[in-house]
Amino acid sequence: MTQRRSMFLIFGFTVVASAWICHAGPFLRQQPGMSGELLSLAGLHQVQLHVEPLQPLLTSQGMTTISLNRMVRGRLREANIEVVDTANAPVMKITAWPGAEPALPKALAFNLRISLYQHATVERIKQRLFVPTYTDFNLGLDKAGKINETMKTSITVLLDRFLLAVSVATINASDR
């Protein structure tokens, strides 16, 4: 398979996977109103932040766990969401996985995921659980030397989608 065709296939998969995860969900729900997962974001004003340590393949490209942590904290601060160490606060978890394809030695791929875990009570079993109530991800592919900037753009996009979901949920909750 040629290098150009491999790049096209990987890019095509990235676009399709992102579109399915990020945009297909609302079309699949047939109930009116906002989903419980989204509604659980209403009024969110503080989170614990856990940025998973980056793997060497990503740190060798200039992205560090510390810089990713600073970037996320800064964006949350701009949106008036405080990062706290309180045990009962929701937990925002940021995870990144690199990927390399031998057919594309000058390219590097990554999967960047943001999840928010919150306490929720399941009435059926009368138990309080700590569950993910929001998850989004972005797949990226770029030249190995440019992956740092591509990851910065991806985390910005993910955080913007998360903050939009928080805003929409807050507005919908206040309309009830």
Q: What are the extents of the domains in the chain? A: 3-175
8 A C-beta contact, residue 72 and residue 155: yes
Q: If you classify domain 3-175 with CATH, what class do you get?
A: alpha beta
**Banded pLDDT at 3 (limits 50, 70, 90):** low
User: Which residue did the predictor score with more confidence, 36 or 117?
Assistant: 117
- Predicted TM-score (pTM) of the model is 0.78
pLDDT digits (tens, 9 = 90+) for 98-115: 988 888 888 999 999 999
pLDDT exceeds 80 at position 87 = yes
DSSP type of residue 54: P
Mean of the per-residue pLDDT values of the chain: 83
Distance of CA 63 to the CA centre of its chain: 17
* C-beta separation of 118 from 130 below 8 A: yes
Question: Which pLDDT score is estimated for 176?
Answer: 61
Listed range (38-42, 99-103, 117-121, 167-171) with the worst mean pLDDT: 99-103
> Contact at 8 Å (CB) between 152 and 126?
no
